[in-house]
């Protein structure tokens, strides 16, 4: 099938490459001409394991192309998938201006092409009712018959290609059953349940899924905070409750809270959307509050051990919001840096691949290092802010020799407390004895 993808961002590139891998002909369009030029040279602008290889393979086989022209991308396609960013506004609601702008432009192009029964799909995370607004925007300029569907993505950064090719489920919602079946057929070769529903339900499913996972994270953080006060061990507690099949072990990882491009904005957006519908979503307000609290708790842990942070030198390990990505959006490490810098601390920072992106959002006083062992020289504390597995393999005995003060605050419970204490560190995680 011929498919156009509008938006060469994270979701658009992973979706387009995966559909090409499934045998479809995919044209990916973006208004950023420089980005399109790089993609046509084989340069993928995001770090995602397996994505570059998949794009290179399917470009070579002629199943994927890149263009800055909406008319060129859509000319042979029957399904047009909108994958543009929906950033949060100041009040937390999703900014749909890009989605609606694309819908209006699609209407103009489809009218010019005299398109026959096109299906317009929202892949971006959007609040309930967006499909109706997309329909209205397309109808302004297109007089033919068309359908709108929602096909939300459930991609985890760092594992997105695997998630796309081996999904837990595929959700398609539309008020046109034939359109829903057509979109679902894109994934016919994938052995995953196909959930076909109405348009509003599909839009709600993505928000509800992310909000539930964020709730699990905030819940286990609250439990960890209680464990610290009563002498219980969160590692044992999470094993005990996670073994219950009704609960499961996923997202039971205490620490500095969730971040990234999805959970923070989607939780806030669902809360605000509920408010605008006249419902006070009390649980999500608490989820957001707890996540904010965890960042500040790390600051308080530093102050407990170091006193006044003014002039103290802190090494922060991890700037990406999670491992296996260079995405620093809503990064706990960056949030922590801003908080301790406001209290006068000096900061050295290291990340395996996110240093360049971090420099775009942090102030110029940060010292960026590529070698964490040398970066530990004369520091007053080391903070682990991202769960990069290679941080476990650092030469911690060498770091112990280099630091001014052997204090390690593990914001991801990544390290073994007994090993760290055996090396002579003062070690503290979240909820550990």
Residue 342, Cβ neighbours under 10 Å: how many? 10
H or E stretch covering 33: helix 33-40
d(CA 227, CA 219): 12
Question: Global pTM?
Answer: 0.90
Tens-level pLDDT at each residue, the chain (433 residues): 999 999 999 999 999 999 999 999 999 999 999 999 999 999 999 889 999 999 999 999 999 999 999 999 999 999 999 999 888 888 888 899 999 999 999 999 999 999 999 999 999 889 999 999 999 999 999 999 999 999 999 999 889 999 999 999 999 999 999 999 999 999 999 999 999 999 999 999 999 999 999 999 999 999 999 999 999 999 999 999 999 999 999 999 999 999 988 899 999 999 999 998 999 999 999 999 999 999 999 999 999 999 999 999 999 999 999 999 999 999 999 999 999 999 999 999 999 999 999 999 998 899 999 999 999 999 999 999 999 999 999 999 999 999 999 999 999 999 999 999 999 999 999 999 7
DSSP β-bridge partners for residue 313: 346
- Sheet architecture: strand order including 194-197: 64-67, 25-29, 2-6, 79-82, 119-122, 147-150, 170-174, 194-197
Query: Is 83 in the active site?
Result: no
* Tokens matching residue 206: 């993505």
Angle at 140 between CA 135 and CA 146, to 5 degrees: 45
Q: Pick the closest to residue 309 from 400, 408, 380, 403 (CA basis).
A: 380
* Tokens matching residue 37: 């030029």
Q: Domains in the chain, please, with CATH?
A: 2-197 (3.40.50.720), 213-428 (3.40.50.720)
Instruction: Give pLDDT, residue 92.
Output: 83
d(CA 280, CA 391): 41
DSSP, residue by residue, 336-401: HHHHHHHTT-EEEEE-SS-HHHHHTTS-TT-EE-S-HHHHTTT-SEEEE-S--GGGTTS-HHHHHH
Residue 313, Cβ neighbours under 10 Å: how many? 18
H or E stretch covering 428: strand 426-428
Confirm if 120 and 147 have CB atoms less than 8 A apart.
yes
Point out the catalytic residue in the list 19, 79, 121, 262: 262
| In 231-281, alpha helices (H) | 234-242, 263-276
Instruction: Give pLDDT, residue 282.
Output: 96
Radius of gyration (C-alpha) of the chain in whole angstroms: 23
Instruction: Give pLDDT, residue 399.
Output: 97
The half-sphere exposure of 265 on its side-chain side, counting CA atoms within 13 A, is 20
* Tokens matching residue 402: 């280099």
């Amino acid at each position: 099938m011929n498919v156009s993808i509008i938006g060469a961002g994270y979701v658009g590139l992973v979706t387009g490459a995966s559909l090409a891998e499934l045998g479809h002909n995919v044209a990916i369009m973006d208004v950023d001409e420089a980005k399109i030029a790089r993609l046509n040279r084989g340069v993928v602008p995001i770090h995602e394991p397996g994505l570059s290889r998949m794009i290179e393979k399917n470009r070579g086989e002629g199943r994927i192309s890149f263009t800055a022209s909406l008319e060129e991308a859509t000319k042979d396609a029957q399904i047009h998938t909108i994958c543009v960013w929906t950033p949060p506004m100041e009040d937390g609601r999703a900014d749909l201006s890009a989605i609606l702008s694309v819908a209006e432009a699609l209407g103009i192009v489809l009218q010019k092409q005299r398109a026959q029964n096109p299906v317009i799909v929202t892949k971006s995370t959007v609040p309930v009712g967006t499909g109706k607004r997309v329909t209205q925007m397309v109808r302004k300029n297109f007089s033919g018959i068309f359908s709108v569907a929602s096909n939300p993505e459930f991609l985890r950064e760092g594992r997105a290609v695997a998630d796309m090719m081996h999904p837990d489920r595929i959700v398609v919602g539309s008020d046109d059953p034939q359109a829903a079946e057509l979109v679902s057929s894109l994934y016919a070769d994938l052995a995953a349940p196909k959930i076909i529903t109405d348009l509003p339900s599909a839009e709600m499913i993505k928000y509800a899924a992310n909000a539930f996972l964020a709730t699990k994270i905030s819940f286990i953080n609250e439990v960890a905070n209680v464990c610290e006060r009563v002498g219980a061990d969160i590692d044992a507690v999470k094993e005990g409750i996670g073994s219950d099949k009704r609960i499961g072990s996923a997202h039971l990882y205490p620490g500095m809270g969730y971040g990234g491009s999805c959970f923070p904005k989607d939780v806030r957006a669902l809360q605000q959307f509920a408010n605008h519908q006249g419902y006070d979503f009390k649980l999500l307000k608490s989820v957001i509050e707890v996540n904010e609290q965890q960042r500040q708790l790390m600051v308080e842990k530093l102050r407990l051990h170091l006193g006044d942070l003014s002039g103290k030198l802190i090494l922060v390990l991890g700037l990406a919001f999670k491992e296996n990505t260079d995405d620093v959006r809503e990064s706990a490490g960056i949030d922590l840096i801003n908080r301790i810098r406001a209290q006068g601390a000096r900061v050295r920072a290291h990340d395996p691949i996110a240093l360049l992106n971090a420099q775009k959002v942090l102030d110029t006083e940060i010292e960026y290092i590529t070698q964490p062992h040398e970066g530990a020289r004369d520091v007053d504390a080391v903070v682990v802010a991202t769960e990069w597995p290679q941080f476990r393999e650092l030469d911690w005995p060498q770091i112990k020799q280099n630091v001014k003060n052997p204090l390690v605050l593990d914001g991801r419970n990544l390290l073994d407390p007994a090993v760290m204490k055996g090396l002579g560190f003062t070690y503290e995680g979240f909820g550990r004895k």
